[in-house]
Chain A
Amino acid sequence: SQQGEEDPQALSIQEGENATMNCSYKTSINNLQWYRQNSGRGLVHLILIRSNEREKHSGRLRVTLDTSKKSSSLLITASRAADTASYFCATDARYNQGGKLIFGQGTELSVKP
């Protein structure tokens, strides 16, 4: 079953604007990760935030995590046309001993030049 629900399903913005995507999940987690998928390609890891962290930055990416609300957001600042892709959150559930990621449905981001 899918652990994460992402919002919005699709987002269209102009180059230079910020893009915010949200992810909600159901069970307690060890960490939450964000991945990007360009059309016809595999997923690429962007950033990981652990359950005891509230915010993390990597370049133009900012991730927040609210474990009380079981939600996370990914902010891409100063977006570029090359950021056009699908973005997925993935959770590593706390009950899981083997180490597997459950992915959300994804947000399709379109950045127009």
Chain B
Amino acid sequence: EAGVAQSPRYKIIEKRQSVAFWCNPISGHATLYWYQQILGQGPKLLIQFQNNGVVDDSQLPKDRFSAERLKGVDSTLKIQPAKLEDSAVYLCASVPKGSGSEKLFFGSGTQLSVL
């Protein structure tokens, strides 16, 4: 079974630039999460999708972050414009339909450095 795919693996940008991350969840997984993990901290939930609908985006900084999951499969997370404090690893995770939040499958993440 293929895992959660994320790209790019690494990204370096300057502040005020834009950046986008891509996630392809495990086939058939209805729920998709984006987490932000700052160095030395635990993952912090940014947004949760159920199919192509947003379930929770209460912690997404909507003035600069946006996310979409067209057709309920792939998802993209965008930051525009980036700030220094956005430097972090952005993790995508998915779970099978009907599993609630039991046993998330994570991708390897995109490490973002904002200079």
Contacts and interface: CB of A to CB of B under 8 A. Distances in A.
A48 B44 CA distance: 19
Interface residues of A, number: 25
Given A2-B42, A43-B91, A106-B42, A101 B109 contact: no
A69 interface: no
Interface stretch (A12-20, A53-61, A75-83, A92-100): A92-100
A99 B109 contact: no
Interface string B77-108: 00000000000000101010000111111111
Contact of B100 (A88, A92, A102, A103): A92
Contacts, number: 67
A70 interface: no
B102 A43 contact: no
Interface string A5-49: 000000000000000000000000011010100001111110010
25 contacts: A2-B44, A4-B42, A31-B102, A35-B106, A40-B111, A42-B91, A42-B93, A45-B103, A48-B102, A48-B103, A88-B42, A88-B43, A92-B101, A92-B102, A98-B48, A98-B50, A98-B55, A99-B48, A100-B48, A100-B55, A100-B101, A101-B45, A101-B101, A103-B44, A105-B42
